Structure 1
Amino acid sequence: MDGSERKLREAPELRALAHPVRMRLCQALYERGTATATELAEMIGESQANCSWHLRQLAKYGFVEEAGGGKGRNRPWRPVARPLSWGDSDESGEVAAASDALSAQFVEQEFAGLRDWQAWRRTDPPEWQDAANWVQNIDWLTLDELKELNKALAAIVGRHKDRRDPANRPPGARRIRIFAWAVPAAPYSED
């Protein structure tokens, strides 16, 4: 697996990923490492046939691949683990619309995860409840400072990316949602 960034620049690949079932499949594969469509169906609450179809669509655009060692329904899949980027300022038309749809779906998935955690967090051991946190702030930054902050956030968020491979996870590690952004709080004005 290539660790270099993949820039999504084509509308079909952006639309392929901007589907709630496909996003859940990718997330489940990152969690498991490899899984069959049947195993994934159990994990995400979809039918095996639906998962198989969506896995083939994800494979068509290079987001997942067959892991080898199985046939038919017992064919294992794995994620193609690479950082993804999209949403450049030079996008327009169909690409911009597909990029915005992917961003909206991604944000919705992350907020759904936060809402889920808020619903069940009190069932976790106290030490896990106390370790969880979020931060919020409004600051005044220059363009260069905003770029620097986002670069630092990406480095922090990616600090444990080697643990996407289940073999690299230490005992007691849990899947943790990390989502951060630093964006302007209002539209640009010359004032």
Structure 2
Amino acid sequence: MDQPQPDREDTRIVSQTDQLKALTHPFRIRLIDLFRGGDELTATQCAEATGESVASCSFHLRQLEKYGFIERGEPRGRERPWRAMRERGLTLTAEPSDREAFAAVTAAGSAFLADAVDRLQAWYRRAADDDPEWTTVSAQRFTSFWATPDEVRELGERIDALIRPLQDRYEDPSDRPEGARHVRMIAATWTDPS
């Protein structure tokens, strides 16, 4: 399997088994998500945002630091904040022949997917009370098709190209049009067993 190459310098390829294993804990996925907007947060602020204890947040933040997913920010008096590394996205990959690394990729991917599905189900529970304009543009697409590996790769690249300009608005609120909301998307392609 060829290693995917990031098409932007702010996308990180994660292929080391120990780094992949660090991403298999569901709470670490939640913590990484807290930092996506570029904020610097303390363990106390992470605890307030997640409902976890400060001690648990501190432990998981140190683990994420150890494997290079977050770093320490500049101290603010007695506060010791954390911040995300500058990557906009992560690509998880491993050679199928490296069973341990490949198992870590699938476990980390499952953790990210479970988090995304939890968030989608939370939206389902409140969608009827949301602004109808937002409810009608929110969509879930379920489909299948026949394709070659090259066609599936091209599909992913085309989806990335469509999303990229919207992702560029992430860190600078002044780049966001009036009325914009934070939107999430799950996209996955896989093959059915023959």
TM-score range, shorter chain: 0.7 to 0.9
1:93, distance to aligned residue in structure 2 (A): 2.4
Is the alpha carbon distance of 1:163 and 1:34 closer, same or farther for their aligned partners in structure 2, counting shifts above 3 Å? farther
Q: Taking structure 1 as the reference length, what is the TM-score of the superposition?
A: 0.86
Aligned with residue 94 of structure 1, among 64, 79, 100: 100
**In the alignment, is the contact (CA less than 8 A) between 2:71 and 2:84 conserved in 1?**
yes
**In the alignment, is the contact (CA less than 8 A) between 1:7 and 1:86 conserved in 2?**
yes
Cα deviations by residue, 1:65-110 (Å, 9 ceiling, x for unpaired): 12213255x2221111323212334452221121111011111111
User: Which runs of 5 or more residues in structure 2 are unaligned?
Assistant: 1-7
158-167 vs 60-69, which deviates more? Answer: 158-167
Please say if 1:75 is aligned against 2:80: yes
Is the alpha carbon distance of 1:22 and 1:28 closer, same or farther for their aligned partners in structure 2, counting shifts above 3 Å? same
**In the alignment, is the contact (CA less than 8 A) between 1:16 and 1:58 conserved in 2?**
yes
1:27, distance to aligned residue in structure 2 (A): 0.5
Report the number of matched residues. 185
Question: The residue matched to 1:24 in structure 2 has which SS?
Answer: helix
Q: 2:136 is matched with which residue? A: 130
User: Which runs of 5 or more residues in structure 1 are unaligned?
Assistant: none
Aligned with residue 174 of structure 1, among 165, 168, 181: 181
Higher percent of residues as helix? 1
Question: The residue matched to 2:86 in structure 1 has which SS?
Answer: coil
Is the alpha carbon distance of 1:32 and 1:120 closer, same or farther for their aligned partners in structure 2, counting shifts above 3 Å? farther
**In the alignment, is the contact (CA less than 8 A) between 1:87 and 1:100 conserved in 2?**
no
1:23, distance to aligned residue in structure 2 (A): 0.6
Is the alpha carbon distance of 1:163 and 1:169 closer, same or farther for their aligned partners in structure 2, counting shifts above 3 Å? same
Distance in 2 between residues matched to 1:139 and 1:125, nearest whole Å: 33
Q: 1:5 is matched with which residue? A: 11
Q: 1:14 is matched with which residue? A: 20
Matches within 5 A, 1:1-191: 3-31=9-37, 33-70=39-76, 74-82=79-87, 83-167=89-173, 168-184=175-191, 186-188=192-194
Amino acid at match of 1:137: T
Amino acid at match of 1:75: R
Amino acid at match of 2:112: F
Q: Taking structure 2 as the reference length, what is the TM-score of the superposition?
A: 0.85
Amino acid at match of 1:38: T
1:151, distance to aligned residue in structure 2 (A): 1.2
Question: The residue matched to 1:69 in structure 2 has which SS?
Answer: coil
Question: The residue matched to 2:83 in structure 1 has which SS?
Answer: strand
Q: Percent identity?
A: 34
Question: The residue matched to 2:168 in structure 1 has which SS?
Answer: helix
Amino acid at match of 2:188: W
Distance in 1 between residues matched to 2:162 and 2:39, nearest whole Å: 22
RMSD, aligned α-carbons = 2.1
